[in-house]
Structure 1
Amino acid sequence: MSSSGIQIVQKLWNYCSVLRDDGMSYGDYVEQLTYLLFLKMADERTKPPYNQPSPIPDKYSWPSLLKKDGDELFDHYRHSLERLGNEKGLLGLIFNKSQNKFQDPAKLRRLIVDLIDKEDWSAMSADVKGDAYEGLLQKNAEDVKGGAGQYFTPRPLIQAMVDCVAPKPGDTICDPACGTGGFLLAAHDYVVKHNPNLTKAEKKKLKQETLKGYELVQGVVRLCAMNLLLHGIGSQDFEPVEAADALASDPKDRFNVVLTNPPFGKKSSYTVVGQEGEVSKERETYERDDFWATTSNKQLNFVQHVKTILTVNGRAAVVVPDNVLFEGGAGETVRRKLLHDCDVHTLLRLPTGLFYAQGVKANVLFFDKKPASETPWTKKLWIYDLRTNQHFTLKTNPLKREDLNEFVKCYNPANRHDRKATWSEKKPDGRWRAYPYDELVARDKASLDIFWLKDESLEASDNLPDPDVIAQEIVDDLEAALEQFRLIANDLGPAATNQAE
C-alpha cells in the first residue's frame, strides 16, 4: 500500500476507536464512511476540471450536510440516506437500506468536517484511494466477531490466481460470489499493468463493460460497489455488481474468465430481502436444467454454475473446500462430468490458516470449458501441494505473494501446455506432479483428494512444529469436522422431524 494510502487509513481508522465507545461496530463504521465518501466525491466531480452533473439531488448533497449541525444534521442525514436509497442505478446500490448508525451528532459532524471534507478524494490517485479503502476492508475482515472475513479472500492468493489465468483486453470477467470485489479489482489491475498501450476506447470498455460481480448480501454489495468506484470502476449508468443469488438461475450472460471464492459451509436457509423489499428464503437446493446434479452442497453448485457461465474455451479458477474433491453422490457425478466436459488442468492444494473461516481446508481448481465431445477433455491434472508441511496464520505468519511464486512458475501462464514436474522418485519432496485422466477416473469416487508428500509432523518427535502450530492445526481439524457434522445435521433435520410427526 502507498504511504499516503496508509496515512489516510490510519486517520480514518483511529477515529473508529472513538466511535467504538459509542457502540458502533467496525462494519457499521466502514458502511457510514462509504455513504459520506460517495457524497463528497459526487460533489467534487461537479467542480473543475470534471464539471460533471451530480447524480445527487441538491437537497441531499455534500454541501447540504456541511451547513448543518446538531440534531438538525442528524435528521437531515437520516432523510438523505432514506431518499437516496430509493434512487435507481449506482446510487440505489450504494444507499439501499442505508441507516444512520451514529449516536452522537457531534461525532458525525467531526467525521464530515475534519476527516472527509479535508481531503480531495477525486484528485487522489485511484491507487491511493483504493488502497485506503481496501485497508479498511482488510481491518474490518480481521474483526472476527463481525464475520466480515468470509467476504474477504487473502489478496496474495487472489493475485496468484489472476497471474495464472492472465486476463486479456477484451475478456469479460465475472465473480459470481464477489464479496468486496477483490478478484474483479485484481483482474482489472492485471489487464492495465500488462497492457500499457490500451486505447481510450479499450480503457472505457475495461471500466464499463468488462467486469461483473454478483453478491447475495446487500451490505457487502454496497462495500463492493464503493471499492470498485474508488478504483475508477462503475458509474451511475454502469453497475459492476448486482445484489442477487447467483445460483438462483442461469443469468444467460457468458464470460471469458471466472474467478471466485464462493462462501464455505452450507447455512440452513435464511431470509433474503430483495432490493424492492420482497422477502424470500435462500434455497437449500437448486433445480437447474444446466446442472449435472441437484444437491444442497453449495460449493458443488457453484462449480456447476461456473461451468454454465463460461464461454466455450473460457477459463476458471475457483476456490473449493476439500469435500468438493472427495464427496460421493452428487460430488462424484460433478467431478466425472467436469473431467469429461472441461479441461480440468490444475489443482492447487492450499494450506490451512489462510481464511477467516476457521478450519477450512481448501484448494483452487483451474479448468477451461470446452465444446461438446465424446472423448474426455481432461488429459492430465497437474497438482501443486502447498499444504503439506506448510504453516500459515492470519496474524503471525500470513501468506505472502512470494509464497506462491513457485506454483505460478510451475503453472507456466505463458504456455501451460509446457510444464515440468518438480516431483520424481528421485525427488520425493517435489510439490508439483501430474496425474493422467484414466488414473483419476479409476480412483474411488473419482476422488481428486490426492497427496504424496511425507508429513514431517508424523516423523521423528524432534521435528515437530511449535506447540502453538500443533494446537492451531487441532483446532482447524475440529472446526472442519464440526462443519461436516453441521451439514449432516442440516440434511437429516427435516427428515428426522417428519419421522417424529
Structure 2
Amino acid sequence: MPRGRKAKKAPQPLTTAQQLGSLIKSARDIMRKDKGLNGDLDRLPLFTWIMFLKFLDDMEQLREQEAQLSGDKYKPDIEKPYRWRDWAAPEDGFTGDDLIRFVNQDEAMRPDGKKGIGLLAYLRSLHSSNGRNRRDVIANVFQGVQNRMVSGYLLRDVINKVNGIHFNSSEEIHTLSHLYETMLREMRDAAGDSGEFYTPRPVVQFMVAVSDPKLGESVLDPACGTGGFLVEAYTHLGKQCHSVKDRHILHERSIYGQEAKPLPYMLCQMNLLLHGLEYPYITYDNSLNVKVQEIGDKDRVDVILTNPPFGGEEETGIKSNFPDDLQTSETALLFLQLHMRLLKRPERNNGKPGRAAVVVPNGTLFGDGVCARIKENLLKEFNLHTIVRLPNGVFAPYTGIPTNLLFFDRSGLTETIWYYEIPLPEGRKNYTKTKPMQFEEFVNCITWFKKDSREENDHAWSVDAGDVLKYDTDGNLFSCNLDQKNPNSAEALEHLPPDKLAANILEKEHRIIKIMEELRTELGKECQ
C-alpha cells in the first residue's frame, strides 16, 4: 500500500434499530406518493395494519414450530390463503389492481387462484367459540380498518418493505416496540384538537411506579388511547412473574382497557401484542356509556391508571348515565365519577381498597357548581391522599393547560391532602417538543411519596380536607377548592406578613438542624 494512504474502513453493518428505522422511513416515502392518502393520520393506520399482519404471521410460525416439537396439534388464527406468507411474502405475488381487489372487496380472486372472500372482509369475520381469544382480537381490530391506498403497485412496495422486518426475533420485537411508540407520539398534533393529549412516558412511568400494581390485581385504563399506561403496567407486573402460573395470571386477569375510537383502539392492541401480552382485554366502546349507579362489585378493579380526555363535551345521552345533580357535559368530570365508581370496595375485596391515579386539568381543582359537588363526594367517600402538581408545559406543545395527578383510594374519607409540586429543571422556563420532561425529575417525589411518614419540604405541603370544603349558613356547599398553592414557594413567601415570614424561616432552620443531626449520627455510626 502506498505511503500516506489510509486503508478504507469496512462499512459497519446496520443495527436492528437502524434497519427498522430505514424500513419505516422507506415505507412512508412510498405511501406519500399515493394520491389516496392525505396526511399522517391516513398513512399511519395503513402502515400499522400491514405491520400487524406481518407480526401475527411471524408469531403463528413460531407457535407452529413449537407445536411440532411437542407433538401437539396447532390451529392457526389466520388460515390459508389469508396468511401473510401466502399473499404478501412472495415479492412476485399479487400487485396492482389484483392486490387492491383482494384487499378491499368483499369477494375477489384469492392467491390460491380461487374466488372467495376478500382479505379485510375475512379478517373482520373471524371469531372463536368463547369470544375470548386472538381471533376475536383480530376481528375487532379490523372492524375499523379501511385501506385508503389507491395504487396496488405502491401498496406492493410498502408490503415488500415491511416483509423485511422479522418479528420472530426477540431483539427486533423489543426494538420495534420502541420505534412503534415513537410513531404513536406523532399522532399528538392531530389528537390535541379534540381534547386528547397523549401522556408523556415519564409521567406514565411515575404514576405506575407509585401506584405499584401487584401481580394478581386488576389494572384498568377506561380511556386507554394507544395503551401507554397498560404497557407500562404490564411491564411492571411482568417483573413480578417467577413461574408459569404467574405468567398465566398476568396474561389472563391483569390488564384491561377501553377505547372509543377505532384508530387508537387498533394501535393499542398492537402496542400490547408487541410488548408480549398474548390476548389484550381491550373493549371497543365509550366507557361513559354505562349507568354509573348500576356498576356492581363484579365490574370493579384494584387499580385505575388513566389520562382521560379533557376539554371535550359529551352528548345528552351520556350525561343521563350519571346522577341528576352530578350531570355535566365536561368529559373530565364524568370520567372522574366513573373512576370513583369502578374502584373495589375493601369490604368486598379482603380488606384491600381499590386505588386510582388520574391526570386532571387544573380547572378540575378549582371548579364550582357540579364540579364542587363531585369533589365533595371524592373527599367524603374516598381518601384523596395526594395531589402531584406538574410543571407548566408537560404536554407542550400540544396544550398549555396546567395538569395535576390525583391519587385516591377507597380506604375511607379524606382527612389530609398532601401536595407535591414538581419543579421545572433549573434554568428552564418551560418544556418543549425537543426538550420534554424526563423521568429523573420524579425521583425525589417517588422517594417522598413512598415514605410511611411524610414531611413537608420546599415542594411538599399538606392541607386539612375540611379547610377546602366551604358551606353557607344553611349548610349548602358553595366551594371545594383543591387548587392550593405551595406555601413554601418564593412567590408565596413574598406575600407573607412579617410574623409568619419569620416563623417560616425559623421552621426551616429547625428542619436543617434536624437533618444535620441525623447526618452526624449516621457518620458517627460509620466511624465506630
Question: Which bin holds the TM-score, normalised by the shorter protein?
Answer: 0.7 to 0.9
Q: Is 1:382 paired with 2:418? A: yes
**Quick one: which of 438, 450, 454 aligns to 1:419?**
454
**Quick one: which of 147, 152, 156 aligns to 1:105?**
152
What is the one-letter code of the residue matched to 1:303?
Answer: L
Report the secondary structure of 1:174's partner residue: strand
Q: In 2, distance between residues paired with 1:318 and 1:337?
A: 16
1:455 deviation in Å? 6.8
Q: Which runs of 5+ in 1 are unaligned?
A: 270-281, 372-376, 423-429, 460-501
Indicate the percent of aligned positions where both proteins have the same amino acid.
28
Report the secondary structure of 2:358's partner residue: strand
Aligned partners of 2:288 and 2:318 also within 8 Å: no
Which whole-Å deviations, capped at 9, do the CAs of 1:60-81 have from their partners, x for residues lacking one?
2212234212211111122312
Q: In 2, distance between residues paired with 1:134 and 1:259?
A: 18
Query: CA distance change for structure 1 residues 7 and 447 in 2, over 3 Å: closer, same or farther?
Result: farther
Aligned residues: CA RMSD: 2.7
Q: Is 1:61 paired with 2:93? A: no
1:319 deviation in Å? 0.4
The equivalent residue for 1:86 is 125
What is the one-letter code of the residue matched to 1:228?
Answer: L
Q: Is 1:47 paired with 2:55? A: no
Q: In 2, distance between residues paired with 1:286 and 1:307?
A: 17
Q: In 1, distance between residues paired with 2:50 and 2:179?
A: 15
Aligned partners of 1:215 and 1:221 also within 8 Å: yes
Instruction: State the aligned residue count.
Output: 422
The equivalent residue for 1:75 is 101
**Quick one: which of 467, 470, 477 aligns to 1:439?**
467
What is the one-letter code of the residue matched to 1:87?
Answer: L
Q: Which has the higher contact order (CA 8 A, sep 6+)?
A: 1
Q: Which runs of 5+ in 2 are unaligned?
A: 1-14, 68-73, 105-117, 128-135, 346-352, 472-477, 495-528
Scaled by the length of structure 1, the TM-score of the pair is 0.77
Q: In 1, distance between residues paired with 2:493 and 2:277?
A: 49
1:244 deviation in Å? 0.9
Report the secondary structure of 2:126's partner residue: coil
> What is the 5 A alignment of 1:23-422?
23-48=37-62, 49-51=65-67, 52-62=74-84, 63-65=86-88, 66=90, 67-78=93-104, 79-88=118-127, 89-113=136-160, 115-125=161-171, 126-141=173-188, 143-144=189-190, 150=196, 152-193=198-239, 195=240, 197-235=241-279, 239-249=280-290, 250=292, 252=296, 253-267=299-313, 269=315, 283=317, 285-288=319-322, 293-312=326-345, 313-355=353-395, 357-370=398-411, 377-386=413-422, 391-412=429-450, 415=451, 417-422=452-457
The equivalent residue for 1:19 is 31
Q: In 2, distance between residues paired with 1:257 and 1:434?
A: 24
1:457 deviation in Å? 13
Aligned partners of 2:195 and 2:312 also within 8 Å: no
Q: In 1, distance between residues paired with 2:195 and 2:368?
A: 29
Report the secondary structure of 2:137's partner residue: helix
1:4 deviation in Å? 3.3
Query: CA distance change for structure 1 residues 295 and 209 in 2, over 3 Å: closer, same or farther?
Result: same
Q: Structure 1 residues 83-92 or 296-305, which shifts more?
A: 83-92
Scaled by the length of structure 2, the TM-score of the pair is 0.74
Q: In 1, distance between residues paired with 2:154 and 2:222?
A: 37
Report the secondary structure of 1:56's partner residue: coil
1:34 deviation in Å? 2.4
Q: Is 1:449 paired with 2:449? A: no
Report the secondary structure of 1:392's partner residue: coil
1:145 deviation in Å? 7.8
1:449 deviation in Å? 0.5
Aligned partners of 1:233 and 1:240 also within 8 Å: no
